[in-house]
């Protein structure tokens, strides 16, 4: 470990304007992240990119425009050769546009769903593609490639009326053409829907990775298509413990871990990689470079179920320690930034 390591932070605002790097501000911050960073004695925030050892790019993907990506790139492009760049904007489109992500994964033998890109200017052509896909798939998801699944995703199957699919495509096409003003690579995609879970629950596996090292991991569960921890109920505890215990056991297998690391490394060097598990094999869905969620919010996003499990059921900490590390955010972020220093 170096005696002292300097970090320069860049977001859509931070690091692009004078004196926006300080010990008291962190763009797109997670709860207690800045406190954890400041608790690492070897790591110092600096206001000069030339004096830094690490450049950490912290833009919020869904709010970032192509122009902002170009601006950030113009600031760091002359420094890539001699500094460690985390969440580099050169990877931005590979990360945030799911069709590009899937294409890269396919080229690197990383399992992911089948998909096709639809033309927002030709509804008839898109209908033909959807019909062809549904001839071999039970159901598919229609979504915008660079928007969160919960805000722009619809599951359809062969029982859907043609007029309803047309209406859905028209609505998505209008949004895509509008979004393209700020994000030129915006597309509609049809993605194979893969059933996973145990019949009653859908499982969403997530691993947080920093420079080829898994920092943390957990499984979220839900009884709905879009998995959200906000929908947890008291009765979900047994399934939550069961599947997170299974995930922990799988993570003891080096071959399994290598598949997760390969999925991330083929795209970028930091993020949360989301995947499904079918016959204990991961099928990768997307990468979120600046991960958030209830675990990383103050008071766990006031999630009453998580608060109950964390503070009223201490015996769970021995059973699912992978989840309980999120109970201690300062310690979590100290570990994250200490790992970052060790990678420099």
Three-state SS sequence of 95-163: HHCHHHHHHHHHHCCCCCCCEEEECCCCHHHHHHHHHHHHCCCCEEEEEECCCCCCCCEEEEECCCCHH
Q: Encoding tokens for residue 37?
A: 């960073």
Count of all residues that appear for the chain in the document: 344
157 and 187 belong to one structural domain: yes
158 and 241 belong to one structural domain: no
pLDDT number for residue 195: 84
217 and 317 belong to one structural domain: yes
Q: How far apart are CA 186 and CA 9, in angstroms?
A: 27
| 77 alpha carbon, distance to own chain's centre | 24
Inside any domain, residue 109: no
How many domains does one find in the chain?
3
Low-confidence spans in the chain with pLDDT less than 70: 1-2, 149-152
Inside any domain, residue 21: yes
267 and 307 belong to one structural domain: yes
Inside any domain, residue 100: no
pLDDT number for residue 1: 46
230 and 314 belong to one structural domain: yes
185 and 224 belong to one structural domain: no
Final residue in a domain of this structure, among 41, 62, 94: 94
pLDDT number for residue 150: 60
pLDDT number for residue 22: 87
Q: Encoding tokens for residue 213?
A: 């090292």
Place of tokens 């859908």: 202
245 and 333 belong to one structural domain: yes
Place of tokens 């890109």: 117
Inside any domain, residue 151: yes
Over residues 137-195, the pLDDT tens digits come to 999 999 999 987 666 689 999 999 999 999 999 999 999 999 999 999 999 999 999 98
**Which residues span the domain enclosing 23?**
5-94
From the DSSP assignment, how many helices (H) and strands (E) are in the chain? Answer: 12, 12
164 and 218 belong to one structural domain: no
Place of tokens 């009653």: 200
Whether the model clears a pTM of 0.85, i.e. scores above it, the answer is yes
235 and 314 belong to one structural domain: yes
71 and 183 belong to one structural domain: no
pLDDT number for residue 2: 55
88 and 129 belong to one structural domain: no
| 185 alpha carbon, distance to own chain's centre | 19
pLDDT number for residue 258: 98
pLDDT number for residue 225: 80
215 and 338 belong to one structural domain: yes
Strands (E), 198-269: 202-210, 214-222
């Amino acid at each position: 470990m170096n005696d002292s390591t300097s970090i320069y932070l860049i977001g859509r605002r931070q690091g692009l304007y004078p004196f926006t790097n300080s010990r008291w501000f962190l763009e797109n911050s997670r709860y207690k992240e800045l406190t954890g960073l400041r608790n690492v004695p070897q790591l110092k925030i600096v206001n000069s990119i030339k004096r830094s050892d690490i450049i950490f790019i912290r833009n919020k993907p869904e709010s970032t425009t192509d122009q902002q990506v170009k601006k950030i790139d113009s600031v760091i492009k002359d420094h890539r050769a001699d500094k460690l760049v985390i969440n580099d904007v050169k990877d931005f489109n590979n990360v945030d546009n799911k069709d590009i992500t899937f294409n890269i994964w396919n080229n690197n033998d990383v399992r992911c769903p089948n998909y096709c890109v639809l033309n927002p200017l030709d509804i008839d052509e898109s209908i033909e593609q959807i019909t062809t896909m549904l001839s071999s798939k039970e159901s598919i998801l229609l979504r915008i490639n660079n928007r969160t699944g919960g805000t722009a995703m619809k599951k359809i199957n062969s029982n859907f009326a043609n007029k309803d699919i047309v209406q859905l495509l028209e609505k998505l096409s209008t949004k895509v053409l509008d979004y393209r003003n700020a994000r030129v690579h915006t597309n509609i995609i049809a993605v194979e829907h893969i059933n996973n879970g145990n019949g009653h629950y859908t499982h969403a596996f997530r691993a947080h990775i920093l420079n080829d090292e898994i920092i943390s991991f957990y499984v979220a569960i839900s009884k709905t298509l879009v998995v959200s921890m906000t929908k947890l109920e008291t009765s979900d505890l047994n399934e939550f413990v069961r599947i997170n215990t299974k995930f922990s056991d799988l993570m003891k297998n080096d071959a399994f871990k290598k598949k997760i690391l390969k999925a991330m490394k083929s795209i970028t060097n930091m993020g949360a990689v989301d995947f499904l598990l079918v016959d204990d094999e991961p099928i990768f869905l997307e990468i979120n470079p600046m991960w958030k969620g209830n675990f990383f919010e103050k008071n766990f996003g006031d999630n009453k179920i998580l608060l109950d499990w964390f503070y009223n059921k201490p015996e769970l900490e021995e059973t699912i320690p992978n989840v309980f590390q999120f109970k201690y955010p300062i310690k979590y972020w100290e570990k994250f930034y200490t790992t970052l220093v060790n990678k420099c």
